[in-house]
Amino acid sequence: MLARQSIFKQTPKLLKPRNLATPPCIFRNTKQFTTTAINMGGDQPEIITAYKELTSIKAQTQELPGKDVDMDPLAEFTKLEDWDDDGKPYLREYVGSGKLKGKKAIVTGGDSGIGRSAAQLFAREGADVTIVYLPEEEEDAQNAKKAIEADGQQCLALALDLMKADQAEAIVKKHIEKFGKLDILVNNASKQIMCTDIAEIELANVESTFRSNILGMFALTKSAVPHLKRGSAIINTSSVTAFKGSPGMMDYSSTKGAIVTFTRSLAGQLAPKGIRVNAVCPGPVFTPLQPASRPAENMEGWTVGGTPLHGRASMPAEMGPSYGVSISMPGQSLSLTAV
């Protein structure tokens, strides 16, 4: 198999990029930090990509939970980077082939970011989708709903908060009332808040992060499993920080580690029922959660030159196919896996 042309034209060497949040970092204060990472380029690497905007991300910040409509640049959800015969990158639209025809899915955080990409790609494969989001994200949710419906599928948009105990049951109930069955559950919604000093961390924020990222996942899964039949699938969104840690987001990375363990445990429990359970563990992805969880100056040039494969953050569109593969694999062979 021929190796793909490197995206960098220069010889690999060590580089100190700015504002890299996901790999291990040495923080100077809450607004500035430095990091050393292996980079495939030189001091001024040329990043070859069709996602040109990601090579020069502007300073920007938002209030939690963050909104796609306020991102600069706007995210891509269905356009994937590909390479022509001359090794030049271009964007192509994801085209489905009916792999999920007739399936019904719930995607939390489906209004924006990775969740929206997964939801739209499910629709292009023939699935009807329920997206779950916070009331503050209504504009993003309506945009996602319109995009799914434009691909010929139905979309139920539910503004419900999984941090509230009774909301999980309501989500499943409304989904079943609309679609009659449940085949796919994507536990994707999460939050993160940066804090670089454990002596200054607010325990209320730690509790809120665990309630959002872990307890909400437990609650929704508990309500959903009785409706899942043999051949159904659950996908949980974890993170590379589950394995690498994150000095600036200890509570967040702790929840992501817990999600991997939850996934493995649940996969073992549900395997006899023929229900697959997997986790997707993204690296840095350009989603509203990023500017909503750090100062504006830390977003300027975010991750540029600091990721070995791309030299940039990923677009949500690059994550969506991982969810589709985890669901559409024939048979029951893919389970207990962190992608």
- Helices 138-150 and 113-124 sit at what angle, rounded to 10 degrees? 20
Determine whether 331 is exposed, middle or buried from the number of CB atoms within 10 Å of its CB (0-12, 13-18, 19+). exposed
Q: What is the rounded distance in angstroms from the CA atom of residue 235 to the CA atom of residue 275?
A: 11
For every residue of 301-323, DSSP letters joined together read: TTTTT-STTTSSPBPGGGTHHHH
Could you give the residue numbers annotated as active site?
A: 252
For the record, the structure tokens of 171 come out as: 């989500």
For the record, the structure tokens of 141 come out as: 């949710």
Q: 108 to each of 41, 161, 180, 207, 259, how far by Cα in Å?
A: 37, 10, 18, 20, 15
Q: What is the rounded distance in angstroms from the CA atom of residue 224 to the CA atom of residue 168?
A: 9
For the record, the structure tokens of 299 come out as: 């977003």
Peptide linkage before 282 cis (omega within 30 of 0): no
